[in-house]
Amino acid sequence: MGEGKYIIIAGAGKVGWNLARELLDKGHEVTVIEDNRNRYLTVEQELEHNIQYGDASELWVLERAGISRADMVIAVTGDDEDNMLICQVAKEKYLVDRIIARVNNPRNRPHFELLGIKPYVSATDLILRLLEHEVPEYGLVHLLDLPEERLEIIEMLLAEDSKVAGKRVGDLNMPEGSLLISILREGQGGFVPTPDTVLEAGDEVLAVLDPGLEEELKVFFGSDGAAAG
Amino acid sequence: MLREGHEVSCLDEDPEAHARLEVNLDRSWEDSGGQFTVGTGLEEEALTAAGIERADAFIASTDGDNTNIIIAQIAKRKFNVPTVVARILDPLRAEWYGKQGVNTICPTKVAIEMLEKSVLEAAGTGASS
């Protein structure tokens, strides 16, 4: 992010408050909006004029905070409907360039998508991703998802009995829409394979792929037996 | 609406709300032809269980403006309900969403108009007598 942006944050909970602190430190102009009087008074002691008291889903409160000149609106209240509404009016009524919404209940994710509110951040989903990374049984780990660009990067550990262990990269017949981009090997770190690189059991392979090909890749890199995936 | 011969299905997160439906009914809500589902308007399963897929109209009238605005849009965009109305107490939000194509009823505005009318009429009567 460039310098001197004006950012409005709805909600002065732990997320909003710390976000404000970080952004102020980085030299941005920030206004936090909080509708709980006690919380407002607590946070105001530190943030002073950078926090306003009010309900950020009320249009006049957003206008008082100067939404028309805001470069970004971040809605991190504990209420998903409020976050959706704030982002929707920020984007569609006040034509704010960038919005970020917090999803409290992951089951509400489809609603954020339906209303075109993106990007959104869900703590539950982030923790699930980390779990995926920590628990090898999952087999396939998402490193990056760019649904807009229809692109994913995944990582997979080749098991002892992987079908592709011992094969040359050049001889791999990767599923269409996927590409092997890197190999992480014990003792060698990460490297970009050549067609002559031979895959070994224990390698972690990184591949870029079209969304929806995960299962196919799981089978492709999976074990020889019926227990694939 | 039930009395007028329509089929009515209510969705409420509070199971006790069912009792309120039966006030002034001589039969149970269900025997009168009504349907009641426990859940919230943000849960698609609850909306489906309440029969949103075959609804001709959907009314979002929870006690939260933002909830009503969001679920009205879900009913319209996701379930393609032909007629959708949302109760929005805040006149500013009601006005803007009204312009965006969300059918809104703003009780605050209606009440202000009625109160104003009532005051002006009383004043008028007072002045003429």
DSSP line for B58-117: EEE--S-HHHHHHHHHIIIIIT--SEEEEE---HHHHHHHHHTT-EEE-HHHHHHHHHHH
The residue ranking higher by pLDDT, B61 or A145, is: B61
pLDDT of residue A133: 67
- Of all residues in chain B, the percent with pLDDT exceeding 70 is 97
Which of B42, B44, B66, B68 would best serve as a mutation to test chain A binding (most A beta carbons within 10 A)?
B66
pLDDT of residue B126: 58
CB pairs under 8 A between A and B: 41
pTM score of the predicted model? 0.77
pLDDT digits (tens, 9 = 90+) for B66-115: 999 999 999 999 999 999 999 999 999 999 999 999 999 999 999 999 99
Which residues in chain B are closer than 8 Å to A107, comparing Cβ atoms?
Answer: 42-43
Which residues in chain B are closer than 8 Å to A93, comparing Cβ atoms?
Answer: 96
CA distance A200 to A166: 6
pLDDT of residue A228: 39
Which residues in chain A are closer than 8 Å to B101, comparing Cβ atoms?
Answer: none
Which of B48, B65, B70 would best serve as a mutation to test chain A binding (most A beta carbons within 10 A)?
B70
| pLDDT values of chain A reduced to their tens digit, one per residue, 229 residues | 557 899 999 999 999 999 999 999 999 999 999 999 999 999 999 999 999 999 999 999 999 999 999 999 999 999 999 999 999 999 999 999 999 999 999 999 999 999 999 999 998 888 877 777 666 555 778 888 787 788 888 888 888 888 899 999 999 989 999 999 999 998 888 899 999 999 998 898 999 999 888 888 888 888 765 443 3
Provide the angle, in degrees to the nearest 10, between the axes of the packed helices A14-25 and A37-47.
Answer: 20
The residue ranking higher by pLDDT, A84 or B126, is: A84
DSSP reduced 3-state for B5: coil
Q: Do A114 and B74 touch (CB under 8 A)?
A: yes
By C-alpha distance, the chain A residue nearest B95 is A59
The rounded radius of gyration (Å) of the Cα atoms in chain A is 23
Q: Which residue among A58, A81, A114 places its CB closest to the CB of B92?
A: A58
pLDDT of residue A149: 81
Residue A80 in contact with partner chain B when CB distance is under 8 A? yes
